[in-house]
Amino acid sequence: IFPKFLLEGDREKLKNLITVWGSGKVNINTADRYVLEILMEYCRKQLQNQNISENNPGDLAERIIQLRPFDSVGDLQTKLTNQRSLDSSQINILNELYKVIDFKSACFYIGSNGKIGNSNLSSRIYCIFGRDKKNITYWHES
């Protein structure tokens, strides 16, 4: 399930940042720096597979974080190019990135922990809420 280029330590860090719920794309507005850097590396590898060797993302992940939020691909392009021009490598990376990103989340994780007074009795409830259908897709109580 993990891209082959990830090291075992990366896989351990990443497993807490992904979900089986949603569209399968990454919300660029909420992804942390580590996830964006992994996406940049994924895009770089995809370009290598297409025999495109000019593919250094530079500070693209940092620029994305600084300019968020974005509404669309066009908004992302406009904000990035208004800040400063993109070189051909960054444009290539972005073209690959557009295939794996989204601009809003389809599902949300909602969790709650409760405890009765000073007792040892406690409970945890969490659910996955689907934005599109406005329903609870999954829930668990412990």
Q: Which residue reads 């599109």 in tokens?
A: 132
Q: Which residues pair with 130 in a beta bridge?
A: 107, 135
Q: Is the pLDDT of residue 19 over 60?
A: yes
DSSP letter assigned to residue 121: -
Instruction: Please report the pLDDT score of residue 52 as a whole number.
Output: 87
Q: Which residue reads 């070189």 in tokens?
A: 87
pLDDT digits (tens, 9 = 90+) for 81-137: 998 888 888 889 999 999 999 998 877 888 999 988 888 888 999 888 887 788 898
> How far is residue 91's CA from residue 76's CA, in Å, rounded to a whole number?
12
Backbone dihedral region for residue 114 (phi beyond 0: left; psi -120 to 50: alpha; all else: beta): beta
Instruction: Please report the pLDDT score of residue 86 as a whole number.
Output: 86
